[in-house]
Every structure is written in C-alpha cells, then in structure tokens.
Structure 1
Amino acid sequence: MPDFDHDDQLLTNAFAGFRDEVTPYVKPAGTAAARATVQHRHKVRAVAASGLAALAIAVPVVAYAAGGAKSNGPPAVPADSPSVVVTTTSPAAPSPDASTTPAAPDGRITKADLGNATFNIPAWPKGFDDGCAKGSVKFASGKASTDSSTRIQGDPVYIDVDHDGAQETVVIVSCSPQGTDYKVLALDRDAQGKIVTLGQVVGSAGSEGQEGKDIETIWGVEAGDNGQVRVDVGEYRPCCDMTQSSQHQWRMYGWNGSAFTQTGGPTAFGPNPNVTDLTVSAEKLTMVATGATAWEGTFKLTIHNAGQFATPGKVEINLIINQTWTVLSTTDCKVQTGNTACQVSSIPAGGSKVVTIKLSAQTQPQLSECTVYVYAVNDQHGVYRSLKDPASTKVQVVQA
C-alpha cells in the first residue's frame, strides 16, 4: 500500500475515534452545521495530500487514538469547528402549592337554635307595627324577649342563596300588634360562627300598603331552583273579626350580591273570589200597633251580588235596631244569636235574593230609621273582605 494511502487511513481511523467520543456531548445546529462538517472533511483530505502536513496532523491525533487518553469531560472544540449547541437540563423549580379558598361558614341553623338566637330584624312598616321588635333581637322559645307578639313562624328552610357552597337559613318572622305582618329573612353565620342576617327576602306592607294590591300576608316559604326562595304571598291583612281573604300566590326571589329581588312569579294580584261586591236595598218598614204596648212590622230586603264570583260563604244580614225590638220571622233567612241577624245561602255571581223580615217592638217605636248591614261570612262568622265598605242600607220606619 502506498504511504499516502496508509496515512489517509490513519487519519480516517483517528477522526472516527475522536467523533465517537465527542458525539454524546454535542448536537449539530441544523443544516448549517451539516454544511460546515462537509467543508471541514474536504479540508482535511486536502491537507492529507501533503506528506508533511499529514504527518503533522496525524501524529497527535494517532497518539490520542492509540493511547486511549481519557478526560473528565468532552474535549475542546477547535475554533473553526462547526457551531454546536450543548444542551443541559436544569432541575425543575418546585411549583408553589395552589391557594386554597377557605370553606364558606355553615349557615344551617336548627329550629331549636333559632328559637333562642339573637339576630337583626329590619324595621317594620309604620303604624301598628311601631312596637314590633327590630334591630338586634334576642329570642327565647321562638318569641322576642322584648315583644312577645314578634315570633318565629313555622319551620326554617335551608337554601344556598348566595351560591357560596354552603346553605343559609330562611325563616318567617311575624308580628301581631293588631292584625299580623310578616318578614322573610335569610340568616347565615360569619367566620366566627355568629348568626348574622344576610338580608330580607320580602316583607308585608302592613298599614303602609294598599290591600288588594300589595303583599299583606305571607303564608310560607320553600326552596326554589338554583338558590331561589319561593314565597307564598297574599294581598289582604286580616284583622279583628275579618277572615283571611287572601289568595295564595307563589313568587320567586333571588340574592343579587347585595339584596333580594323578585326573579319570578306574578307581580300583581288578579280578581279574588274571596272578596265580595254586594249591594242592598230595602222597602219602608211600617209598624202597626197590635196591642196596648205591642207593635209589629214587615219589610222586604233585596241583596244583589255584583261580583264576578259567587259569594265565598253564606250571606249574613245584621239589623241595628233598638234592644226592645225582636226579629219574629224571615223568609229563607235563618235567624242567628241575638235575634237581630239571619243568614241566607251563597248568592251566585250577578244573582239577587229577596228576604222578607218581620219585626216586633214592645213599645211604640221612637226610631225613624234603622240600619241593615250585609256581608259574606265563613262558618265561624268571620267576615270576608268587600271591594267597598260592607254593604248597608237605611230602613225608613213609619207608623200606621
């Protein structure tokens, strides 16, 4: 083999060994590195054509390859070598722990705890309710310690009204100074476990409202969908001898972040079948002497139902007469206690009823007139509401 070929083979073997050791530590930088590598190889072959240059280059390289020299790191890269990128992997920085949102306080308050709790009650409507407990109120056995007419009504309802993942307590508080008024309150606990009032869901209008149009009665509450509060409301505030005439109407309320607002259900009350519209008229009452001290007389009374519903109960006729007068008989009207009132059956919408009433007096009548009141009543004699004041008429009294 010619010396030139032998030297060329020595160079080839030497660079192959050098490449094998360096390769694990370097990474060519793309196509530019490949082109530089090819140019470098051509340059090496050109230098090998000169015997002196070949020996000058081959001796140290062969010595390195033959001697099996080892180093503690990759060999130095010549200045004219292709650019390389040395990659190193740094340890990943520890990621901070994800922040944890504290759990919302549990706002469920049992009925027993609620009955002896202290919490804030917003102001009541002006009028009869001025004396109802308000502000920070302490309860004992479900009644306000400062005003026993203010009390917790019914069972609490549990709803997540503020969407914090924990339920709140919704309860009705009522006050009955003369008639009854109501508040629906949402209660919660703070971070220390103290009971706090989140807000008033809705309240009755009391003496400040207009019966038949505003909320005057609250029947009950229940949970709605998506944190809403369903409230059963009515439009009349019963008082004294009046019976409850309100309709049941469900309305929906939701928390907007600062207050409760109505979110669903009716916003007005329609015609009420428990409210009457009666009119009454009467003929003259002619009293005739039947003895030295006895007088009797008969008159006819016409009752008309001008409403769009039949009267919700029986219709009672009440006569305001002298204590010495007595109702002797009636047609189709059952005499009640005291012999000054009688009842007829329910009158259909648009219908009328005529009643004949016979009276007696123990002395010569001194009255020139008497008054008759007509209204619908329930079985306990509670009076239903009327669109106007209770129907009444004056009966003119004459002597024959």
Structure 2
Amino acid sequence: MSDVDPRLRDRFAAYRAETVTRIASPGPEQARRTLRLRRRRTAVAVAVTAVALAVAPIVAHGALRDDGSLPTPAETGAPTGTPSTTTPAPTPSSPPTPDVTTSTSPAAPDGRISRAQLLAARVDLPAWPAGSPKTCLTSDVRLQPSSRTDYVSVLTDVELRYTDLDDDGATETVALVACRFGEASAKQLVAFDRDRQGRIVTMARVVGTGEGLDDITDAAVTAEGEVRAQVADIQPCCSMRSYWAQQQWRTYRWTGDGFTQSDGPRSFGTDPRLTDLVLTGGDLVLGPADAGGKRPGTLTLTVTNRGPVDVAKVGFAELSFVGALTKADSSICRPWQEADESGTSCRTAGLRSGERRTYTFHLLVDPAELDQPSVRAVHFDDQDRHWQDLTYRDNRVDVRVVS
C-alpha cells in the first residue's frame, strides 16, 4: 500500500476502527467511544469528500493516458510541441470597408445664359483694340442688341454657343460681341459664366479682331470644351465685296488663365484666288475735232496675266473717263453696259496665266474734260464677280495724249 495516497490510508484506518467498534460489547464506555468515532467519521467523511472531488478529474484524465500514470498539475494542457486537437477555429474577420470619401464641394454653377439674360445683365468686357471709340465700354456694360448701329458695345446676331469650357462639370456660354470702329466693327468672341451667387461673369476673350484677323463671322463649340471661330482676313465695308474675304476655322482651348489656339491655321497668306494683271501702254492719239469740238482718238493698251490664276474675263475700269467708246469696238467690249461698282464699262475675253494681249480702243474724246485720266485692268471670274489684284499698282496706267 506504499503506493496508495496517504489520504486513502487514513480513510481505510477510519473504516477499520468503525468496524471494530460495532463488534465490541455495549456499555457506557462503548457509548462514549461510539460518539467520538461518529464525530471523527463525520470529519473524515468531509475531508474524504473534498479530496475525492479534487482527485476525481485527475484520476479520470489519467485513465485516458496510455501508461495509466497521473499527470502533474503542469500537464493539464496539451503536451509541448503537439498540435492541440481542441483549438477553436479562428473567427473569420469581416472584409475591410472601402474608404469612400464623399465630396463636400458644391456643384459648379450653371453657366448656360440666354440671349435675353445676357442683354439684361451688366458685364465686364475684355479691352477693345487700341484707338476704339470711348463709347466702346468695357466696365459694367449693358450690351445692346445688334440693331444698334452707333458706337456702343453690342451683342451680335451670331448664335450663342454652350459647352463645358473649364472642365468643371457645368456649361458655359460663348457669345460674339462687337463695337463699331469707323466703317467696320471691332469684334471679340467672349466666354461667360455664372458665379456662386448666380451673377453673370466674364471668363476671358477667346479671340478678337486685331489679332492677325480683321473679322469674326461665326462660332461653334465641341463636346470636348473647345471653341471654334470662323475668322476672316477682311471685314468688308464701303465698296469691298463680301466674297473677297478669306475665311478659316480656328480652334481655341481654355488653359486655366485664358484661351489659346489649339488647332487650325494661324495665318492667311496669299489669297489663292487672285492673280497679277499688268497693264502697259496708255498712249492716246487724237484726230481732228468735229463741229462740236470733240476729237476721235485711239487708245492702245496691253494686258499681261502674270498668274498664277487664269482670268475668265478682263475688264477695263475708268475707260469712260477718257472718252465714249464707239460702236466699232463692239467686238471688243460685249455687252455694252454702264460702268459697274468697279468703274468698269468694258469687259472682254479672258487671259490664261502667262498670256498677253493688246487692245486698241476707239473713243470720242472731249479734250476739255481730260483731267489726267487713267485706266485700270480688272480681273472678272465666270460669275462676273470682280477681284482685287495681287499687285495693285501695276494694273493701272495713266493716259498720255500724244497728238
């Protein structure tokens, strides 16, 4: 029993004593002994119960061991280095919540402005070209409708255009404004927007006359926020013909500080529709005077087309200032007609580029009305439209009376 727990030996000893007591004969002494034994048994029973409660889990666990030995208190867990079969599975972690940043910036104001709203507002305009009339105002301007012909800032009839110019998600407005400048008008294509309070404000000038061009005739925009301007090298006025102007489309883009050209031609160059007519001669030979004092005369002129364009018809301007053409020249000048806006009273067959031809005109001249006359050769196309000349000076000669 040396390998039995001491607490168990005490229990067995108590059991033997109790058994012996029951066998002894009864009497007062036996009664006292029995009472003492019962008290001791009660105390031992309590102690044994407590020990049993403490030892039972250890004994039960030892029964599960292969060698039947009891584990020491330090061996209540899994042996070191042996994976535990009772480790709980890890709790799946929740997927990370995306870091969504909600913009608190207010939306850009809507810059779509109607014609009526633009005419009703007061706006600041970019500067007009130097030398413009003082009435072409730029500060706190109330734009006038295009029907105004005096020297004030007007909103032209060119259609307003709308697109997102500055990539802020809102629309802006492009308008063509003008102010009369002599016989023509200064013009500028201007971008307008609204501020946070809804007031109309000026972004910048897109392009204006005096910047390598003399006219702006139309405008367009793209979905990418670009502005397209139709520009011309001439702004027709006075006796100029509208078809003389060369027109181009140029594209402009907002840079954050202003507009810059991003596409299209940057200059006009020589008009490819024009040619160089050279007029020589000019000698006027007069005959004897008639009863009315007028004298017959012949005027010889030579025209050379130096090119590069063929001429459909050649006209002679201001010839009527020398004298009246006779019917003998009907084969040269057809049809007979009054001088047109170019001063041409005679049109004849055309000249190819590089071709030369000499003409002799028969005139009835009043010597008293000859006041240093001159004649000019004029280029006409097949639609009877007259054109300017590449070198204006050499297509004119002074008429010289030689007899």
TM-score normalised according to structure 1 size: 0.67
- Rounded to whole Å, the distance in 2 between the matches of 1:365 and 1:284 is 18
Q: Could you tell me which residue of structure 2 aligns to residue 249 of structure 1? A: 248
Q: Could you tell me which residue of structure 1 aligns to residue 325 of structure 2? A: 327
Which of 188, 195, 198 aligns to 1:193? It is: 198
Which piece of structure 1 moves more, 364-373 or 224-233? 364-373
Which piece of structure 1 moves more, 387-396 or 158-167? 387-396
1:164-183 mapped onto 2 (5 Å cutoff): 164-176=168-180, 177-183=182-188
Q: Which amino acid aligns with 1:44?
A: P
Q: Which amino acid aligns with 2:316?
A: I
1:235-246 mapped onto 2 (5 Å cutoff): 235-244=233-242, 245-246=244-245
Q: Which amino acid aligns with 1:250?
A: W
Q: Could you tell me which residue of structure 1 aligns to residue 286 of structure 2? A: 287
- Work out whether residues 279 and 303 of structure 1, in 8 Å CA contact, stay in contact via their aligned partners in 2: yes
Q: Could you tell me which residue of structure 1 aligns to residue 353 of structure 2? A: 349
- Rounded to whole Å, the distance in 2 between the matches of 1:147 and 1:201 is 22
1:107-186 mapped onto 2 (5 Å cutoff): 107-127=111-131, 132-142=136-146, 147-148=151-152, 150-176=154-180, 177-186=182-191
CA displacement at 1:359 relative to structure 2:
1.4
Q: Could you tell me which residue of structure 2 aligns to residue 269 of structure 1? A: 268
Structure 1 residues 3, 351: closer, same or farther in 2, change over 3 A?
farther
Structure 1 residues 373, 231: closer, same or farther in 2, change over 3 A?
same
- Say yes or no: does 1:9 pair with 2:56: yes
- Rounded to whole Å, the distance in 2 between the matches of 1:145 and 1:351 is 47
SS at match of 1:134: coil
Q: Which amino acid aligns with 2:73?
A: V
Structure 1 residues 178, 382: closer, same or farther in 2, change over 3 A?
farther
Q: Which amino acid aligns with 1:389?
A: Y
SS at match of 1:227: coil
CA displacement at 1:309 relative to structure 2:
2.3
Q: Which amino acid aligns with 2:130?
A: K
Q: Could you tell me which residue of structure 2 aligns to residue 358 of structure 1? A: 362
- Work out whether residues 119 and 142 of structure 2, in 8 Å CA contact, stay in contact via their aligned partners in 1: no
Q: Could you tell me which residue of structure 2 aligns to residue 83 of structure 1? A: none
- Say yes or no: does 1:395 pair with 2:399: yes
Count of matched residue positions in the alignment of Structure 1 and Structure 2 = 321
Q: Could you tell me which residue of structure 2 aligns to residue 218 of structure 1? A: 216
Cα deviations by residue, 1:102-135 (Å, 9 ceiling, x for unpaired): 1111111123333444322222223466653433
- Work out whether residues 282 and 397 of structure 2, in 8 Å CA contact, stay in contact via their aligned partners in 1: no
CA displacement at 1:286 relative to structure 2:
0.4
CA displacement at 1:336 relative to structure 2:
3.6
- Say yes or no: does 1:375 pair with 2:374: no
Q: Which amino acid aligns with 1:184?
A: L
- Rounded to whole Å, the distance in 2 between the matches of 1:12 and 1:356 is 147
Q: Which amino acid aligns with 1:10?
A: P
Q: Which amino acid aligns with 2:190?
A: L
Cα deviations by residue, 1:79-124 (Å, 9 ceiling, x for unpaired): xxxxxxxx9x9xx9xx998342211111111233334443222222
- Work out whether residues 139 and 145 of structure 1, in 8 Å CA contact, stay in contact via their aligned partners in 2: no
- Rounded to whole Å, the distance in 1 between the matches of 2:141 and 2:383 is 36
Which piece of structure 1 moves more, 388-397 or 194-203? 388-397
- Rounded to whole Å, the distance in 1 between the matches of 2:337 and 2:361 is 13
Which piece of structure 1 moves more, 117-126 or 129-138? 129-138
Percent sequence identity over aligned pairs: 31
1:82-101 mapped onto 2 (5 Å cutoff): 98-101=102-105
Cα deviations by residue, 1:303-334 (Å, 9 ceiling, x for unpaired): 223232235x75432226658x4233544334
Structure 1 residues 366, 160: closer, same or farther in 2, change over 3 A?
closer
- Rounded to whole Å, the distance in 1 between the matches of 2:268 and 2:168 is 34
- Rounded to whole Å, the distance in 1 between the matches of 2:287 and 2:188 is 59
SS at match of 2:387: coil
Which of 208, 212, 216 aligns to 1:203? It is: 208
Q: Which amino acid aligns with 1:203?
A: G
SS at match of 1:188: strand
- Work out whether residues 326 and 340 of structure 1, in 8 Å CA contact, stay in contact via their aligned partners in 2: no
CA displacement at 1:340 relative to structure 2:
6.8
CA displacement at 1:138 relative to structure 2:
0.8
- Rounded to whole Å, the distance in 1 between the matches of 2:111 and 2:227 is 15
Q: Could you tell me which residue of structure 2 aligns to residue 385 of structure 1? A: 388
Q: Which amino acid aligns with 1:196?
A: V
Cα deviations by residue, 1:355-398 (Å, 9 ceiling, x for unpaired): 33221124x45748521123346899986333333531112112
Structure 1 residues 265, 163: closer, same or farther in 2, change over 3 A?
same
- Rounded to whole Å, the distance in 2 between the matches of 1:145 and 1:355 is 46
- Rounded to whole Å, the distance in 2 between the matches of 1:127 and 1:154 is 25
Which piece of structure 1 moves more, 264-273 or 183-192? 264-273
TM-score normalised according to structure 2 size: 0.67
Structure 1 residues 254, 149: closer, same or farther in 2, change over 3 A?
closer
Q: Which amino acid aligns with 1:255?
A: W
- Rounded to whole Å, the distance in 2 between the matches of 1:382 and 1:290 is 38
SS at match of 2:160: strand
User: What are the ranges of 5 or more consecutive residues in structure 2 without an aligned counterpart?
Assistant: 9-51, 63-69, 77-90
- Rounded to whole Å, the distance in 1 between the matches of 2:381 and 2:119 is 34
